[in-house]
Amino acid sequence: MLLHEDISDKIIKAFYKVYNSLGYGFLERVYENAMMIELRKMGLIVQKQMPINVFYEKQQVGKYFADIVVEERIIIELKAAENLCEEHEFQLLNYLKATEIEIGLLLNFGKKPQFKRKIYTN
């Protein structure tokens, strides 16, 4: 069994429900808001735009915001791009490195729905 597989399955189910309803072409914020509604309907605890501080030698050198964090266990990074690229995957991996969270899902509301699951063991 995969780490947090039950939560991941719910997130992916919500992703396809939102994608099938809204389709392609909206801004990421629209998909983020719809995902928040769908995930909450599933009874999940979700937080959007969670701040992530980046440190170098114990000094803060940056601050990012995770699109959605589910149950404090999975970071969701949303895209509305034609295709996922390596840069998107590295962005999500860096979010995982900067937190105690080990699982990330990259969800793309592109011309075709795409998702990738990333793991980073802290």
- The total domain count for the chain is 1
Tell whether the model's pLDDT for residue 30 goes beyond 70: yes
Tokens (6 digits) for 7: 């939560």
Q: Shortest CA distance to 107 belongs to which of 9, 21, 30, 12?
A: 12
Distance CA 69, CA 92 (A): 12
**Residues of the domain holding 80:** 5-119
Quick check: 1 pLDDT over 80? no
Dihedral over Cα of 19, 22, 26, 32: its sign: negative
| pTM recorded for the entire structure | 0.92
pLDDT for 59 equals 94
Could you tell me the pLDDT band of residue 3, with boundaries at 50, 70 and 90?
confident
pLDDT at site 96: 94
Which CATH number covers residue 44?
Answer: 3.40.1350
Residue 5 has pLDDT above 90, yes or no: no
